[in-house]
Amino acid sequence: MTSLTSIPAALCFAKAETAIPVQVIEAAALEAWLADQPERAARWSESAGFSARLGESLLIPDEDGGLGQVLAGYGDAKARTHGRFHLAGVAAGLPEGAYRLEGLDPARRDEEALGWLLTGYAFDRYASQKRGQARLVAPEGVDAARIEAQAAGEALTRDLINTPAEDMGPDELEAACRDLAEQHGARIDVTAGEDLLEQNFPLIHTVGRAAEAVPRLIDMRWGDEGPSLCLVGKGVCFDTGGLNLKPGASMGLMKKDMGGAATVLGLARMIMALGLRLRLRVLIPAVENAVAGNAFRPGDIFTSRKGLTVEINNTDAEGRLVLADALALGAEETPDLMISMATLTGAARVAVGPDLAPYYTDHEGDAQALAGAAARVADPVWRLPFHQPYEAMIEPGIADLDNAPKGGFAGSITAALFLRRFAGETRYMHFDIYGWCPSAAPARPKGGVGMGARALLEALPEMLRL
């Protein structure tokens, strides 16, 4: 098997000399365009009923019966607000070969080029039939290396999430991190098992102690100049809920509970591949929230790395526990910015659904930078508040903090407030992501998906003055 971190050619631009033109046509421009075409092509388009609707495509033969060109309907601006990566839908239906884009608005080139590359993503590790691919020659004017880095980062995220827990437990997640570190000359340090107690990561150990694969904290560093950025990702490789066992329907998708780790690793890959001038640290608490005789229990109280005590009122609120110790470690060296990503609450999914990445920050400048960036790179995000008055909800009385406030009001916000306690004075942003695309859309097959990583990549220069 090829390594998870190797990049398939299908995710890179084609280097072909000759490529079949894909003519991108807005509905309103079709008539004028056809008037300029050879009689044959115009008649073929008319008889096929091509109307340049968004996502519609038409193959046009050349004189010898080969594929001469492709028409790609691009609808109008209003239709295009209903989704992203519109040409990816066309690309996915084309025969194998090399293609080039014509007539595309330069302002949309980056998004469409990335979408096309992402149609080259398939989770085929367990498939006996691999499929062929329509490849795109890099459109003139795009930063090909940047788009390829984004596609490769996203593909890593998806592979990590899609791989079932049996093959993506804490051991394999660590191995993937080591691979990635080796590829980019990053340093990596892992604290595992009983060493977690010795090195004072009690909550990571507590959550992971019932699983066969030992819990661990993965600590990767890259770059030695520029501002410091610490990314923290929830690496719960499977979440049964622990003794507060999840019902079957809720447990079904929980291989994706390391989606935060997968997404920060995807972002880290983009940052390293592009050589951003910053000092990067990635912290991943990697555990499995399992059930066994030695599992932690409701009612238990533990002292965290930071010294705050936490009462466990639900063993299924495990993500904030492992993140608490990782965030405390990250905050100890006060990086210029710390960002956590986690499939943290069902409440976030209920609030914004699977398409938006909800995030929290107290820094207005960061929120503005991120909103602008998200719109530019078609990676939508939505800000939720660190609402101070709800702090009272995470204080149970007999300990400093409650991991699962009763009542369930504002579940994503109270989880975010819980995490913020551990970030201390560090400038902090947190994403409560879903990490999964429930139904296939262009360039976004059903399955694991990165959220917020490209928006962050785009926003980082402004946030950190790179």
**Residue numbers at the binding site for ligand BES (CB under 6 A):** 239, 257, 314, 316-319, 343-347, 349, 404, 411, 434
Q: Which of residues 347-366 bind Mn ion (CB under 5 A)?
A: none
Please identify, using beta-carbon distances, which residue of 85 and 201 lies nearer to Zn ion.
201
Please identify, using beta-carbon distances, which residue of 154 and 257 lies nearer to ligand BES.
257
Query: 23-37 in b/e burial notation, b at 16+ Cβ within 10 A?
Result: bbbbbeebeebbeeb
Q: Is 269 a catalytic residue?
A: no
Binding pattern for the stretch 290-329 against Zn ion, x by CB under 5 A and - elsewhere: -----------------------------x----------
Question: Residue 345 touches which of Mn ion, ligand BES, Zn ion, none (CB < 5 to 8 A by kind)?
Answer: ligand BES
148 contacts Zn ion (rule: CB under 5 A): no
SS3 143: coil
Distance CA 458, CA 200 (A): 35
Question: Residue 314 touches which of ligand BES, Zn ion, Mn ion, none (CB < 5 to 8 A by kind)?
Answer: ligand BES
Count of C-beta atoms within a 10 Å radius of residue 127:
9
Distance CA 13, CA 113 (A): 9
239 contacts Mn ion (rule: CB under 5 A): yes
159 contacts Mn ion (rule: CB under 5 A): no
Question: Residue 162 touches which of ligand BES, Zn ion, Mn ion, none (CB < 5 to 8 A by kind)?
Answer: none
Q: Is 246 a catalytic residue?
A: yes
Shortest reach from residue 305's CB to ligand BES, in Å? 19
SS3 216: strand
Shortest reach from residue 314's CB to ligand BES, in Å? 4
- Catalytic residue, from 246, 279, 376, 383: name it: 246
| Tokens describing residue 175 | 């191995």
Please identify, using beta-carbon distances, which residue of 37 and 250 lies nearer to Mn ion.
250
- Catalytic residue, from 320, 349, 421, 454: name it: 320
Instruction: Give the Å distances, CA to CA, from 7 to 10, 269, 275, 436.
Output: 8, 11, 17, 21
Distance CA 291, CA 210 (A): 6
DSSP state of 211: S
Question: Residue 223 touches which of Mn ion, Zn ion, ligand BES, none (CB < 5 to 8 A by kind)?
Answer: none
Count of C-beta atoms within a 10 Å radius of residue 409:
11
Shortest reach from residue 155's CB to ligand BES, in Å? 22
SS3 92: helix
| Tokens describing residue 32 | 């004028």
Distance CA 463, CA 366 (A): 6
Shortest reach from residue 362's CB to ligand BES, in Å? 23
Q: Which of 408, 401, 405 is nearest to 346 (CA)?
A: 408
Q: Which residues are catalytic?
A: 246, 320
Q: Where along the sequence are the contacts to Mn ion (CB under 5 A)? A: 239, 316, 318
